[in-house]
Amino acid sequence: MAWNAQIARQNYYQNMIWVIDGTRTEFDRYNFRMGLSKVSENGLASFSWHSRSKLFARWWVSKPVFIDFGPDFGIWRVLRFDPTQKRGVVAYTHKEKLVEWITNGTTDFSFNGGPASDKSGTAGQ
Distances (CA, A) of 69 to 8, 28, 30: 26, 9, 10
SS (HEC) of 26-44:
HHHHHHHHHHECCCCCCCE
| Per-residue pLDDT tens digits of the chain, which is 125 residues long | 776 787 788 878 878 888 989 888 888 888 888 889 999 999 999 999 887 766 776 656 678 889 999 998 899 998 888 888 888 899 999 999 999 998 998 877 777 776 655 444 444 43
Would you say 78 and 60 are in contact if contact means Cβ atoms under 8 Å apart?
yes
> DSSP class of residue 4?
H
**Quick check: 55 and 41 in contact, CB under 8 A?**
no
* CB of 18 closer than 8 Å to CB of 63: yes
Q: Please, which residues have CB within 8 angstroms of residue 61's CB and are 6 or more apart in sequence?
A: 6, 7, 10, 18, 115
